[in-house]
Amino acid sequence: MFYSVIGRLLRRYTRNDQGVTAIEFAIVGTPFFMLIFGILEFGLAFFVNRIVDNAVLETARLVRTGQAKDFNDTKFRNALCANMPSIFCVHNRMVIKVDKLTDFSGAGDNYSTLPPLLDDDDEPTDDSYPPKINRQEVVVVRVLYQWPMFSAYLNLGDGDTSGKRNLFSAHIFQTEPW
């Protein structure tokens, strides 16, 4: 008799399907929402990277055409920010390096001759802008923008430093004969 009562209770319990949907959602929902938010976060990071690329391209055009002959670090940074939406122009997140090269052969894969954007501790270095850019010179404009990301705390790779994703943009050109 004892076994028949327990058997009846177990059969009744196993046939009851109330709450199954909630349990299934708890199992599947968390990874699903992590995936959705990760896609949105990386999509926004790519969008911001494109904004920075466009701002670097537009600001480098000022250097290329000779309109930035009298620029210094601050003026170049302000010109760069003028080409970006103000919500993305956060000065302490950007490192700007403008360097002159002897020719285009120094602009290839070997960036060892250029000053680094990050130091050994992955901290941003100071901005640099050459004192005078003349016509027909090869110039490289590099910008590092540190975009805060939640997924960067997972430390998924070298681009993740202290909760920020390092977004890089570079433009190499020869100034016009102005």
- Residue-wise pLDDT for 5-30, tens only, equals 787 777 777 776 777 888 889 899 98
- The answer to whether position 9 is within a domain reads no
- The answer to whether position 3 is within a domain reads no
Q: What's the chain's average pLDDT?
A: 83
Number of domains in the chain: 1
Q: Which residue has the higher pLDDT, 51 or 128?
A: 51
Closest CA to 68 of 133, 15, 138: 133
Total residue count of the chain as it appears in this document = 178
Place of tokens 């055009």: 61
pLDDT of residue 43: 94
52: helix, coil or strand? helix
pLDDT of residue 127: 76
pLDDT of residue 5: 79
H/E element, 173: strand 164-174
Place of tokens 């699903």: 32
pLDDT of residue 36: 94
Domain membership of residue 58 as a residue range: 16-174
Q: Is the model's pLDDT at 46 over the cut of 70?
A: yes
Q: Is the model's pLDDT at 161 over the cut of 60?
A: no
